Amino acid sequence: MKSAYIHIPFCEHICHYCDFNKFFIQSQPVDDYLRYLEKEMSNTMEAIEAPELKTIFIGGGTPTSLSAVQLERLLDTVNSVLKPGENLVEFAVEANPDDLSSEKLNVLKQAGVNRLSFGVQTFEDELLKKIGRVHEKKDVFVSFERAREAGFENISLDLMFGLPGQTIDDLAASLETALSLDAEHYSVYSLIVEPKTVFYNLMKKGRLHLPQQEQEAEMYELVMKTMAEAGIHQYEISNFAKKGFESRHNLTYWSNEEYFGFGAGAHGYINGKRTVNAGPVKHYIELIDKTGFPYKESHPVTRNEQIEEEMFLGLRKTAGVSKERFFEKYGTPLDGLFPDVLRSLEEKGLILNTEKSVRLTHGGKLLGNEVFQAFLGEL
């Protein structure tokens, strides 16, 4: 076990596209939640041999919606219970540009956090309003400069494309502004309209006007071209970094390695089982009181499922799936398991199947979901 994800399900506001487990912070028992989060971590550490963590990621929700005092308490819990040592290479926290005070930044820095992920989404103020964000372009600059002054040397900016009413020129301007900040990492995702979101309800009513599929593909091409020209290399379908600043935590997921998932609604992968925690805070607390753990689901992953996951997760990486590593993990050659799928995808020009790896072509990146789905159920 090398990684731990910790979920803080509280937000000052709810974005129109977000389907993550989240709640308005004003009406929530935040201090109780932090206490039970500590219980979950402690009980898990007692039940499982203490790991040497290499990455920790605190996400949400909005972790920085906590007060400075609450944030300090959370980080004290992480450090005292999970006991990250000298092997920890990445301690990351998601942050909103509008609630990141100098006080909170200092709390994060003092606790050992060494990577920040800013939820920017776009630098167009009108677009920010359309998607339900409350920060403005200027807030990003202020928070970014504060973070630099606090000593953070590894900052990621999250951007989105395919937004309602967004044009190619809007995206180009946002990319230019983002690159002007000279961050170490950029995550650039296309909008996916998920159920139980404001955008989903608008779409069902015919009131959500999104770019056409061809235009969205053009936007993705622009993202890849712009990042390459800036010397920011693409290491995963939606992620770009300066050399050495790839997200070590997310690479845990894409490499199909195990990780802890702590907090309401968090997913984990522990000792061959995928777990899902209860989402509602009250239910999360009740389950810990009752059983010591908040699991609402626990599913043993079969060997065939592991292999399929290895393919559709690993192919997200531009390096693809290493055949040598695949053989080490599963004791069988990759090519022998998926001959028809690999042949079909190669004929369509979506993958490169070489002696050492299987990876997406440029066209495969544009049709990634088609590639990933081809492996599901094959075994």
The predicted pLDDT at position 208 comes to 80
The predicted pLDDT at position 205 comes to 85
Token pair belonging to 265:
């609604």
The predicted pLDDT at position 23 comes to 64
Q: Residue 9: which of 18, 107, 110 has the closest Cα? A: 18
Query: Largest Cα–Cα distance in the chain?
Result: 57
Q: pLDDT band at residue 252, thresholds of 50, 70 and 90?
A: very high
Torsion angle defined by CA atoms of residues 311, 51, 42 and 303, in that order, rounded to the nearest 10 degrees? 30
> How many CB atoms are located within 10 Å of the residue 181 CB?
17
The predicted pLDDT at position 209 comes to 83
What is the C-alpha separation between 376 and 304, in angstroms, rounded? 10
Higher pLDDT residue, 86 or 303? Answer: 303
The predicted pLDDT at position 204 comes to 81
Whether the predicted pLDDT of 206 surpasses 70: yes
Torsion angle defined by CA atoms of residues 97, 190, 316 and 338, in that order, rounded to the nearest 10 degrees? 160
| Overall CATH class of domain 3-253 | alpha beta
Q: Residue 253: which of 232, 233, 238, 231 has the closest Cα? A: 238
Q: What percent of the chain has pLDDT over 90?
A: 81
Region 190-202 average pLDDT: 81
The predicted pLDDT at position 92 comes to 98
For 203-215, give one letter per residue: b (16+ CB within 10 A) or e: eeeeebebbeeeb
The predicted pLDDT at position 175 comes to 98
Per-residue pLDDT reduced to its tens digit, 2-28: 899 999 999 777 666 666 766 667 888
Q: How many CA atoms lie within 13 A of 263 on its CB side?
A: 24
Token pair belonging to 79:
């450090």
What is the C-alpha separation between 153 and 165, in angstroms, rounded? 34
The predicted pLDDT at position 19 comes to 65
Domain ranges of the chain: 3-253, 320-375
Per-residue pLDDT reduced to its tens digit, 112-158: 999 999 999 999 999 889 888 888 999 999 999 999 999 999 999 99
- pTM of the predicted structure, to 2 decimals: 0.94
Strand-pair partners of 355: none
The predicted pLDDT at position 24 comes to 62
Q: Contact at 8 Å (CB) between 36 and 89?
A: no
Per-residue pLDDT reduced to its tens digit, 267-276: 999 999 999 9
The predicted pLDDT at position 122 comes to 94
CA 240-246-248 angle, to 5 degrees, is 140
